Structure 1
């Protein structure tokens, strides 16, 4: 059994998708970000980075007792190695998957997060401050990442040919946030997104996540958002 410490975040859904795709028995352990629970290792399976996702594998391969893994990219690699699925064993194919996994965790994820922040939070935090430069910068960077991805998918179904942990890592951010010019400007990404969204394991991951009543606000797609009031009170207080 694997515990996934869960909040409705694209980074957490990466792991939820992988657990479903790899058919690994698991349970979701809700983490209330608005109460700062992610900063308490005791409430995060021993994770000390102050972030979700975190997993605790109660049956690790070495048989030496529960093992905690933090950081979404590292978790996906761990699960791929544990199961031997969605992470190729041949040198070139494995390297390709790892390159695009790192591209996601170092690029479209954090840049997407900052884009979302300046669209949604900055006007509320500092309504009289001119955020136009930051918003323009992150919107431009986010669109360039989507263009890179659209070019990559021009001649292949998935980022590395076969469906892999790199696709699982990238999908939740593409599903959550689009560039200012809209997804129709990126037809290859749209085709890729729709194909992954139709996968039974992906549908199951989101259904289980959304079944957890966090009480959080939802966006126009019905996806739970981080709690504005409670989260911001905690951020300001710390």
Structure 2
């Protein structure tokens, strides 16, 4: 197993996407340093962060011990999970067929379960005007995706066989089920899977990574933060 001697730099805010990587780093047990990026105050648009994450989104990492021993920066949470899994040879199977299955469910989360639930959050909670068509559109799609996940978990403990980066990617988004308008009673396999994962000490630690009190944000009430986060155009 690869040993990490220098801490990995984690550029972070405690969102579902941020939690994916804090969980992974805790599961790996490697040293890391959290660099708060307050997305409600515009830290994500600072040049020093854009040099690491050109899409101005968290999370991102800098590994000082990257390929060939040289530092490497990685942005996009799914890419970070794959990078770390491949480097440390954990939570990502070596068998090609099993690896394809993990990739399928990781990309399912990145392309659907995250973005659609994010739109659900926006139109149900933050949009200045309540557009019922948009709310129904994203709540219904959220419900469909929970159904897909519930079916995939039928008869198995994890999304793609063994516990993997696909589970880490999906868990934190699913924990918002109540505010997404979902009833976990309809999805018992998802509910059992959540409890299974939350019982893992590393998952508990990863979900508990917070920022200092003065760096926290209540997006529902912070209108200035909403201006920073929503309706951005190219600079």
| TM > 0.5 | yes
The number of equivalent residue pairs is 224
Deviation at residue 152 of structure 1 after TM alignment? 0.5
Of residues 169-178 and 191-200 in structure 1, the stretch that sits farther from structure 2 once superposed is: 169-178
Listed as ranges, the matches of 1:123-138 within 5 Å are 125-126=128-129, 131-138=131-138
Deviation at residue 176 of structure 1 after TM alignment? 2.3
Deviation at residue 23 of structure 1 after TM alignment? 1.1
Q: Are the structure 2 counterparts of residues 109 and 30 from structure 1 closer, same or farther at C-alpha, using a change threshold of 3 Å? A: same
Distance across 1 between alignment mates of 2:45 and 2:195: 35
Contact 1:101/1:165 (<8 A) preserved: yes
Contact 1:112/1:177 (<8 A) preserved: no
Deviation at residue 92 of structure 1 after TM alignment? 0.6
Listed as ranges, the matches of 1:28-107 within 5 Å are 28-43=34-49, 46-64=52-70, 66-107=71-112
Q: What corresponds to 2:169 in structure 1?
A: 169
Pick one of 107, 110, 118 that aligns with 1:113: 118
Q: What corresponds to 2:147 in structure 1?
A: 147
Q: Are the structure 2 counterparts of residues 164 and 132 from structure 1 closer, same or farther at C-alpha, using a change threshold of 3 Å? A: same
Q: Are the structure 2 counterparts of residues 60 and 168 from structure 1 closer, same or farther at C-alpha, using a change threshold of 3 Å? A: same
Structure 1 residues 141-183: Cα deviation after superposition (integer angstroms, max 9, x where no partner): 0000000000010111000111000000000001123452411
**For the aligned residues, what is the CA RMSD?**
1.8
Q: What corresponds to 2:227 in structure 1?
A: 233
Of residues 97-106 and 42-51 in structure 1, the stretch that sits farther from structure 2 once superposed is: 42-51
Contact 2:52/2:61 (<8 A) preserved: no
Structure 1 residues 168-200: Cα deviation after superposition (integer angstroms, max 9, x where no partner): 000000112345241111000000001101110
Of residues 198-207 and 138-147 in structure 1, the stretch that sits farther from structure 2 once superposed is: 198-207
Q: What corresponds to 2:184 in structure 1?
A: 183
Q: What corresponds to 1:10 in structure 2?
A: 16
